[in-house]
Amino acid sequence: MKISSLNRGEIHIELSDEGLVQFVLSDSLADFELIQVFSYWAPNSATSRFGRELSISPAEFEARASWLREVWANNGHTITFDPAVTLALKEVREGVASFQSMLSQRPSRHEGESLAVEEISRELTPEQVENVLCLLDMPNGANFSVPGAGKTFTTLALWSKLRERGVVDVALVVCPRSAFDSWDTELKESIDRHVASAVYSGGYVHPSTELLVVNYEQLENSEKLQLLKKWLELRSGHLIVDEAHRVKAGARSVRWRALRQLAAVSCRVDILTGTPMPNGPKDLKSLFHLTWPKLSNRFLTEDVLLTMSRKTSFVRTTKDELNLPDVTYRVVTESPSPLQAQISSALKDRYLGVFGLSILESQSLARKGKAVMTLLAAATNPSLLIAKDFNSIEFGFNWPPLEVTEDKALMGLIRDYLKHEIPWKFRFVAREADRLQAEGKKLLVWTSFVGNIAALSKVLTKFNPAVVHGAVDQQTREAELTRFRTDPKCSVLITNPQTLGEGISLHMDCHDAIYIDRTYNAGMYLQSVDRIHRLGLSADTITNITLLQTSGTIDERVASRLEIKIRNLSRFLQDKSLVESSIPSSEEIPAQEIFGLDNEDLEDIFQSWQA
């Protein structure tokens, strides 16, 4: 309908080609009336166009539609609806009813049942059988099982069963590049026939392809996205989103918006992640909007999210259910050297004002995130602050920090550190690598900074270390991992959680890991721990995790906030073992997405400085 055809004060509601509820406003509306409309509808997910049109999801429209009657119509204005909108709203109400019905299901309804899947060549564990049966109850599914519980195998069994029932045909797996090998291996080992699979690189997809794997980055290309949509739409597609926590940012993420488009043309959507809410309940909304697109933000409240039960709207196999041997944690804390303490104190003085600013005044996370990165680097290796070798790949920030280079006294301190000291954490790792090598064991070393990886590789030269980070190409990455697994002379692997924290298994090769540093990203930390603690370990295997902290630095604030986030995740997932296996006991005493920062983290830093 053309705007000029509307009567004075009229709003026409129609459905766009993208399935959004679209408002078309009369061109005779006064400015104050436009402000009235946009102030209510636009602040959340609505978008404006020419000042006369805005669009919103059917779910959000349904949740807020009473305004049209209570405010707009009661003021004498007219509202007209396209019939397609009425149908869309009916689907929303049905979706809400379906979700509520799932929440009321008895979690133990499939306990002890058996399941036959014709194509599956391996035996499913009882927990995997129960998860598949629960997922079959859902129109779309969410598998939040711990890493190592066999989410890939479980999902392939689910896909096979859905194919048996004629619900879906082909599958599109969206996952990180690091998970490609896992999907290929599981496919070959799990299904008792040849499945035509391919890794998507753009363009033509062979008609025989049954399972197509694509990495998240390719979804940002609009041409590739349209081709994938067409492929799913024409072949009764099953969309599988692996490591789904990568799109927890929701509508702010290009990749999440792309997944929403793929989900809209799929017959079934399943999301997989062991850490669905690494920072808090708000992370869950974005994930459930992929599997339950008819639910509004107003319906998916924190109270609703936190009262969900396992095996209703999601499934999860816990570590207790896997009967994994316990992890032994220890925290090693040392005081900074006098020079390192001076540097940390000078940095606190430089950044105190930044952390005292409001979000709007400091233009939010970018400025504060850079400050946090600098503080984390200084807590381990202050010489990183004036290193330029990895400027292009160290979190995307300009490096070294301007706040450091502008302070001549601080620069002098750092130069002195570079000349005279080796970080105590580096010396500790070298001693541990020596001890473990003598025992015929291998060591996995985690650090968030590429500069630290490079420095450690020099300190640990005698151990012939394998080195993997984001700038290492795929072929070299695979060669380094193979060398670590098979070469007895290579006894150390140095890497970062943002590169190898997902999609690979090292538990058959290594049982000792040291964290040089951690960020505020609880999900990334938990995922990385599970590279060496997962299904397949013998009952007598001892997994050792060592966390290094420099006292009086941001290391301590990170540890405190990670504990809170892990406890919150544990409560939602009804998984007590998550806390017990991821947080050291009191007696023993993770670009912005990588850091996992939220406002509470930043406030915690600021308050600690005020104490």
| pLDDT at res. 500 | 87
Amino acid symbol at 496: N
Contacts of 240 by beta carbon, 8 Å cutoff, 6+ apart:
155, 159, 171, 172, 173, 174, 269, 270, 272
Task: Decide: 42 and 54 in contact? Cβ < 8 Å.
Answer: yes
Q: Using 50 as the pLDDT threshold, list the residues of the chain that sit under it.
A: 1-4, 44-50, 359-362, 581, 583-592
42-50 contacts, C-beta under 8 A, 24 or more apart: 44/297, 45/251, 45/297
| pLDDT at res. 128 | 95
| pLDDT at res. 116 | 93
- Any idea what DSSP says for residue 534? S
| pLDDT at res. 406 | 78
Tell me the helix, strand and coil percentages in the chain, rounded to 5: 50, 15, 35
- Counting Cα atoms < 13 Å in the Cβ hemisphere of 413 gives 21
| E-only strand ranges, 353-468 | 443-446, 466-468
Rounded Cα–Cα distance for residues 460 and 452 (Å):
12
Rounded Cα–Cα distance for residues 494 and 514 (Å):
10
The tokens for 47 are 């978008």
pTM of the entire predicted model:
0.73
- Any idea what DSSP says for residue 546? E
Identify the CA nearest to 136 among candidates 252, 274, 238, 10.
238
Contacts of 44 by beta carbon, 8 Å cutoff, 6+ apart:
56, 60, 297
| pLDDT at res. 64 | 85
Task: Decide: 57 and 297 in contact? Cβ < 8 Å.
Answer: no
Task: Decide: 238 and 245 in contact? Cβ < 8 Å.
Answer: no
Task: Decide: 493 and 443 in contact? Cβ < 8 Å.
Answer: yes
Identify the CA nearest to 428 among candidates 517, 366, 496, 368.
517
Identify the CA nearest to 9 among candidates 57, 77, 71, 64.
77
Which whole-number Å values give the CA distances from 233 to 208, 236, 266, 271, 551, in the listed order?
15, 6, 6, 19, 56
Rounded Cα–Cα distance for residues 578 and 570 (Å):
6
Rounded Cα–Cα distance for residues 74 and 208 (Å):
58
Contacts of 597 by beta carbon, 8 Å cutoff, 6+ apart:
365, 368, 369, 372, 520
SS3 for 61? Answer: helix
| pLDDT at res. 320 | 81
